[in-house]
Structure 1
Amino acid sequence: MTRALVLIDIQEGMDSPLWGARNNPDAEDNAARLLARFRISGAPVAHVQHFSTRPSSPLHPDNGGNAIKALVAPVGAEPVFAKQTNSAFIGTKLETHLHQIGATGVVIAGLSTPQCISTSVRMAANLGFDVWLAHDACAAFDTHARTTWRAGLPALSAQQIHDAEVSMLHGEFAQARSTDDILKDMT
């Protein structure tokens, strides 16, 4: 099986205080460890970059936070797919690219767990890819928790949001795996 690494929205704007507190400060380091191993092994890598259409978003191209973080920045011919929705597959050529390179599986990592990661994991599974979710190479923010009171829902911490989302994805749409476990399988 050819398995590609898909890094989603690991961008400078994700450090904005607008998002609120987050869990897993090691997410980017773990994503970088995966990226290094994929590069060494010659396995395929794809980067996905969010271009927000909301002028106030830290990920809007005019706000300085759109760049992919240097720690996981693309090199050489590694493809970058620009998106404007939560899914890495909608409005991009990611699916076509994965099929062209013969990828039948993906490892997904990035930001943020309940939004673009969850949506992309679900869609990848629905498209027939065997999905490994590198849960410790993802993170959630408490932005969602701060707005739930309006709907009469309990506020959840970033960690609770992350854990709940990973739990919902595991088994149904993906195998949730740690970075260390994925790296062991690549040796």
Structure 2
Amino acid sequence: MELQANAALIIIDQQKGILEPRLGRRNNPLAEQRILDLLDFWRRSGRPVTHVQHLSRSPDSVFWPEQSGVEFQDRFLPQDGEWLIQKQVPDAFCATGLEVKLRDAGIGQLVIVGVATNNSVESTARTAGNLGFETWVAEDACFTFDKADYFGTPRSAEEVHAMSLGNLHGEYATVVSSAEILAEVLY
């Protein structure tokens, strides 16, 4: 495991709407701080950063355009030179041009963080792996919410998160901690 000099940090859906209490109980309360730790390192080292913004097609969504929930949280506002990708489905590669931008920039390694682990993070990581990108998911820089499974059994956010990471690890991505990623370059 070695972090490349041009590895891209992909930050998914860190918008105001994700903080809505109606989304329910979540896991990983320090996820945003871990994302900020990685973002700070990426910015200081000059590595590429991509901010993914969800523009929902559903009027009852926290990410419905033209209301405050669709806006980035202040602490995650893109800076000059950072990419903004807008998506309408969970997968950040679907109809966004992200793959072309990454390939044109010669980027082959991605670190994916954000929300929700079992939705946009998993969907984007699966596609990244299928497209041949070396994909890492920072498990402590993602979170999700309590959710019932297909059969109606309530599952905790921790269970949903763990299952999603289990789906990804070793097949589509390598699941690591933010500390492991930073240790690759700091020591």
TM-score, structure 2 normalization: 0.94
Unaligned 5+ segments in structure 1 are none
3-state secondary structure, aligned to 2:91: coil
3-state secondary structure, aligned to 1:183: helix
After the TM superposition, which residues 1-12 of structure 1 pair with which residues of structure 2 at under 5 Å, given as runs?
1=4, 2-12=6-16
Q: What do residues 11-48 of structure 1 show as CA deviations (whole Å, max 9, x unaligned)?
A: 11001122110001111111111011011111111110
* Deviation (angstroms), 1:179: 0.5
* Deviation (angstroms), 1:71: 1.7
* Deviation (angstroms), 1:52: 0.4
* Deviation (angstroms), 1:152: 2.7
Unaligned 5+ segments in structure 2 are none
* Deviation (angstroms), 1:70: 1.7
Q: What do residues 76-124 of structure 1 show as CA deviations (whole Å, max 9, x unaligned)?
A: 1211010000100001011111111111010000000000000000000
- For residue 105 of structure 1, what is the aligned residue in structure 2? 109
**Runs of 4+ with >6 A deviation:** none
Amino acid at match of 1:181: E
What RMSD over aligned residues (CA atoms) do the two structures have, in Å?
A: 1.1
- For residue 138 of structure 1, what is the aligned residue in structure 2? 142
Contact 1:121 1:173 in 2 (8 A): yes
Contact 1:31 1:72 in 2 (8 A): no
Which of 41, 44, 49 is equivalent to 1:45? Answer: 49
1:19 aligns with 2:18: no
3-state secondary structure, aligned to 1:24: coil
**Alpha-carbon distance in 2 for matches of 1:33, 1:73:** 15
1:82 aligns with 2:81: no
TM-score, structure 1 normalization: 0.94
What is the percent sequence identity of the aligned residues? 38
- For residue 54 of structure 1, what is the aligned residue in structure 2? 58
Q: What do residues 127-147 of structure 1 show as CA deviations (whole Å, max 9, x unaligned)?
A: 1100010110000111x22xx
- For residue 171 of structure 2, what is the aligned residue in structure 1? 172
1:91 aligns with 2:95: yes
3-state secondary structure, aligned to 2:57: coil
